[in-house]
A and B are shown apart, each in its own frame.
Chain A
Amino acid sequence: MEVTVKVFRFNPEIDKRPHYETYKLEAQPTDRVLDMLEYIKGYYDGTLSFRRSCAHGICGSDAMRINGRNYLACKALLKDLHTKKIIVEPILGLRVIKDLIVDMEQFFAHYRSVMPYFINDETPPPQERLQSIEERERFDDTTKCILCACCSSSCPSFWASDQYVGPAAIVAAHRFIFDSRDKAAADRLRILNDQFGVYRCHTIFNCTECCPREIEITQAIGEVKAAIVTGRLD
């Protein structure tokens, strides 16, 4: 079937301001938006620029705003969009560098700010540390994060202030705070108990709705808030 793909274009070397280009192409219902972008780049305009790598929703390179909602372009299939008119734009709240490529540095700086690494300075046993199936399950959901930025760039609080650490960084912190083997939960809770920490979350649920890994992000943020208030990790 023929589809119309309207793409946000901006090349600061040439353009004074962003504009949209519209392309018509043949597509199958099972085609991904990423396939369409590849086709446009290959046959219509080689200058179209976007990031991509694994093309099946694991590497997190190709977060984009598709018909107004954040998706990974490789996980957005034509048949699931229920329309033949597609609008592709860069994710919001981060500076556009070129076309669909945004500056991710601020996003990763927030990630790094929450000590997103395992901390336990005790000498480990010669074999593995033991952890029960239940203890492991406690933080399973937040281990799935691929740092694609769909969540943070869909969050109105992040749009309002990019000083807010954002949902992705809180998810990263949650993964360690609730890991029974980790010893630095208190430090992370202190970092997140800040004016730009968890309390910027107003439970709007945009993040949860668009997470391509289906992480219950708003719930995870709520659990971190509760841990700060109660001082308990249960």
Chain B
Amino acid sequence: MKIIKPIDDRTLVEELADLWRGRGILAVLIRRDISVRYRQAALGVLWALLQPIVTTAIFTVVFVLFIRLPSTDVPYPVFAFAGVVIWQYFNRAVSDGTTSLVTNAGLITKVYFPRIVIPLVAPCSAAVDCLVGVAALVGIALLFHAQLQWTAAFVPFVVLFVGLFGYAVGLCLAPLQAIYRDIGIVLPFALQIAMYLSPIAYPASVVPESVRWLYRLSPIAVMVDTMRWALVGSEPPSVAGLVFTLALTALLVWGGLNIFRRLEGTLVDSI
């Protein structure tokens, strides 16, 4: 028996149970997302490769040839590519996750299924592109004779971690975006600023010592550094940063689930 009640005084456990119940739909929506993404694109999945490659090439030209950035501990293209792959994954997980409820309005205003699965679709389907990027990263690392480390086995976990963080942010923002479209306007700009402020194209070592602690705590920096450390053995992220990022992720997931729980019942009325 199912009881439909006004105020959602459901517990987080019930919300997670919903997520589990909706796993079949989640799988279908992820598959849909992936197949739709490249369906009418002439280059198909190659786009997943082309984007980080072109971005890295431009970074290399600008930062190595023009700006003459102090050399990094691994070859610059490998350094930059690792950053770009992680950044692009995070970027898509957050931006697509945030708009997910609105883009799926046609679905959620017509049929019931656990809504909690929707913000999870983008991080999962974008993960496929990210893994393609990671495979390319390994190729580029070998091409530039970077030393692959045994810790490369941790790379899938890094990807999972980035996805989880992106999901948490999307979970918080998606219901808000459904009600206030301001979020969708500000978000691309905010993400762009975050990218410039993060050590994606440049190493944190070029940042003045006085603000470097911020870089050590920044979750994006931590994720990018973890990726570089795991794959090619550059300097590992700080323990403080790692703990902070994990704590922040947990907080955001918890907060996001709560926001979602409060708003999902009447979401349809505001979309």
Same assembly: no
List chain A positions with a Cβ less than 8 A from chain B: none
List chain B positions with a Cβ less than 8 A from chain A: none
